[in-house]
A and B are shown apart, each in its own frame.
Chain A
Amino acid sequence: MTPILEYKNLKKYFTVGHRGLLRREPITVKAVDGVSFVINKGEVFGLVGESGSGKSTVAYTTIGMYRPTSGAIEFQGESLFTKEGKRPRHIKKEIQIVFQDPGSSLNPRRSVKEILELPLSIHQPAKKHIGRVAELLEMVELPVDYMYKYPHALSGGEKQIVAIARALATEPSFIILDEPTSALDVSIQGKIINLLLRLRQEFHLSYLFITHDLSLMRNVASRVAIMYLGKICEVAEASEFFRNPKHPYTQMLLSSIPVVSEEEEKLKPKRVQSRGEIPSPVNIPSGCSFHLRCPYKMDICPRVDPEMVDTGEGHYVRCHLYPVQENSRPVAV
């Protein structure tokens, strides 16, 4: 497996105000606070978390909307953030994004043709693009005459398909999918997901798939990471993850999912009942940030932030219930 994207201790802090006598002490939100993981070529890497956990900040930093406070992201060994500031165009072309709400990510005044032409005219200037637009529409199984339609004439699902076509326009190798189906009805979700999985095979794409729907994650991701208050608490292969969740937060998430069959009910961890809410990222609890909601809280938890531990078979967990072995070092996932 060759890595396509590497996150190295990525941090993104936002200053949201000032306090103190002279209003000079910044109030910071630690949206992403030291995240390290690797996405391999051809993989669908799932990122799960509640609102405010920092999963979208990871996505937006990757696409270049934010510069990290510290840490790095490397795309095939090349740093995404250089001193000069601007990201080279050949990297921009490789990394694309599909946003959650296609209603607001498509310009209502532009036809589908104009929407799909924009990325083409930036990356392949001085060329006629109409043929390529038709090709893109065929790739996503939309009738070619849709290029003359405007977003308001499309259904929610069709709009999202246009947004996917736009992401494909520059022939990227990596696409970020930020909750691509959560604004759509469940009967349309399947179509979009299967289209995305087929495109991945056909064009050898890798995905960073962000969702809060764990049932959906089970069916699309090869590996899954759970985020809580800007940090990753657990990473594992998708099947292992759902069979043997280790972090108490993961267990809480899994036991909260409403399911539709008895068979699935049996897969849910019974012991952990959801309680409490995600604290404000301005005041992150000391030690392990989950200790306020954790049913297994120990004396050490409010004092010391646990480190990521390798529990074998690519399953990593950051919790004091799984202590660091004497001879092992902290690991990068």
Chain B
Amino acid sequence: MSNFFNLIITDIKISLRKKNESIISILFFLFSILILPLIFQGDQDILKRFLIGIIWFLTLLTIIFSVEKLFENDYEDGILDQIYISGIPLETIFLAKSLSIWIITCLPIIILSPLLLLLFNIQTEKLANIFISLLIGTPILCMIGAVTSALVLGFNKGSSIISLITLPLYIPVLIFGIEASNSEIIFNQIGQEFKILIGYLLIVVAVSPWIGGLALRLKYR
């Protein structure tokens, strides 16, 4: 267990020090959100209607960008081999990697998104909704992305194709996430969409480490 946390902490430290893709991708998210009003020619009504969907879509793209080189960097300079040789199970490595990418990339987005809504003058009751739905939805996106990133690891040009493989798998999260963000919370009663999202999260957390570990193991046969 301490190995697991050590892996996460090292990973976060490395990416903070190296300023690699995962840090850059948050900047990408922020800039693209701030450029948005230009597309709609300053039309406040359209912006209010679609902002939540746009936040979700950009989150999805950001995660794909940051997940692209998730294992590749470590694989190329041999760190992954070293961790594997040290006897830590590949499932643990996979889980630690996907959790660290979630902390680096998604946590800032989750914290920033209610502030962004305030910036665009959206009614305040949606703030909690988008916060919670992003909190539930982004781990799913990270884990699925990590699985596909592990799958194409070691192929030439592998990372270029990752979006084609990953995007179809992201559709349920996108649909339910947007529905959940737009749903109404009535005193302590959470909507069905939230429950479905939570169920999906549980399935993904239970299944993806095994698939991801299997995908990583293919490289060490």
Q: Do A and B bind each other?
A: no
